[in-house]
Structure 1
Amino acid sequence: MAIQDTDTTARPGFLRSFIDHPASVNETYLQHAGFAFGFAARLFLASMAALIHAVIPPLFETTASRMIRQMHARIEARHTNAGR
């Protein structure tokens, strides 16, 4: 026996957030998803560089921190541009 979701009051706000949040940075849902997936991939690469650096310190000495600084700058620019 399946349990049915009868709470219809929460659903519109939740579904609306799929549009409202991307719109807050002047993007469509798909544009925002693409940015987020790309960001996740860069975070993964930065974490791999940090892990390798932990085992072999001469490798990737500044890679992870540089990537994180670049990602932070990109996020800040998006928030600045969204305020226009």
Structure 2
Amino acid sequence: MLALFTRHPRQVGETYGEHFAMAWSFGLPMVAAGLACLVHGLLPFLFERTGSDCVKRLHARMKGRGAPAASGPIGYQAFDAAI
């Protein structure tokens, strides 16, 4: 059961906690940009570039992440074991 929570984070060189934080740091801006896109659909004079700017910014961040690290910081390894 533990592997369900840790397998993918380890594949990308992160602990569970690091992966959680990274996913949320991408997910929340995507939700906000998505809402802005919905408003833009109704009111085209609002949020004209918000969605595309968000996608460009997040793409640049993801592209710049590089290869996964061999292992996460020692401080987070105990957190992984607790999950």
User: Does the TM-score normalized on the shorter chain lie above 0.5?
Assistant: yes
Equivalent residue of 1:58, what SS?
A: coil
Partner residue in 1 for 2:23? 36
1:7-62, Cα deviation, whole Å (9 max, x unpaired):
xxxx5xxx324223112332110110111122221111010110111111111111
Runs of 4+ in 1 over 6 A off after TM superposition: none
Separation in structure 2 between the aligned mates of residue 59 and residue 32 of structure 1, nearest angstrom: 33
What's the % identity of the aligned pairs?
A: 36
Counterpart of 2:68?
82
Matched residue, 2:55: 68
TM-score where L is the length of structure 1: 0.68
Higher relative contact order (CA 8 A, sep 6+): 2
Three-state SS of the structure 2 residue aligned to 1:69 is: helix
Choose 1 or 2 for highest CA Rg. 1
* Structure 1: tracts of 5 or more residues without a match: 1-10
SS across alignment from 2:44: coil
Gaps of at least 5 residues in structure 2 are 71-83
Distance 1:54 1:65, change over 3 A: same
Alignment: residue pair count: 70
Q: CA RMSD in A?
A: 2.0
The alignment's TM-score, normalised by the length of structure 2, stands at: 0.69
